[in-house]
């Protein structure tokens, strides 16, 4: 059966609920994600956000319906993606031990 949904990468992404630290960072596994200031405020400290881990290793951080950060994996660490805040389809690559 075919589906007309265009957001399947968001549906199949792993979702992690996190609280933003006072320095505007989020801890996820062994990684620290730095969130830049948003259009409506300098910090999201104390707010609950959802981190989406996609099949290709990219991460997106959402606060309600707003995507506030996007990170792509590099050879050594996650690098923030500048100027890309669109909800383009992505996925996650989690290594199974």
* 17 assigned to some structural domain: yes
- pLDDT digits 0-9 by tens, 85-96: 443 333 444 444
Could you count the other beta carbons within 10 Å of the beta carbon of residue 47?
Answer: 15
Residue 43: domain span: 9-80
* 14 assigned to some structural domain: yes
Name the 3-class secondary structure at 11.
Answer: helix
The structure's pTM equals 0.72
| Backbone angles phi and psi of 9, in degrees to 5 | -65, -35
* 27 assigned to some structural domain: yes
* 39 assigned to some structural domain: yes
- pLDDT digits 0-9 by tens, 29-76: 888 999 998 887 889 999 999 999 999 999 999 999 999 999 998 744
* 4 assigned to some structural domain: no
**Closest Cα to residue 71, out of 86, 88, 57?**
57
Structural domains of the chain, count: 1
Q: Which two tokens stand for residue 77?
A: 């660490």
* 57 assigned to some structural domain: yes
């Amino acid at each position: 059966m075919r589906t007309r949904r265009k957001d399947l990468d968001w549906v199949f992404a792993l979702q992690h609920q996190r609280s933003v630290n006072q320095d505007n960072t989020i801890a996820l596994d062994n990684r620290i994600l730095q969130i830049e200031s948003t259009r409506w405020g300098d910090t999201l400290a104390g707010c609950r956000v959802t981190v989406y881990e996609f099949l290709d290793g990219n991460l997106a951080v959402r606060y309600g319906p707003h995507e506030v950060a996007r990170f792509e994996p590099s050879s050594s660490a996650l690098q923030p993606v500048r100027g890309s805040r669109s909800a383009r389809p992505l996925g996650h690559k989690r290594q199974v031990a």
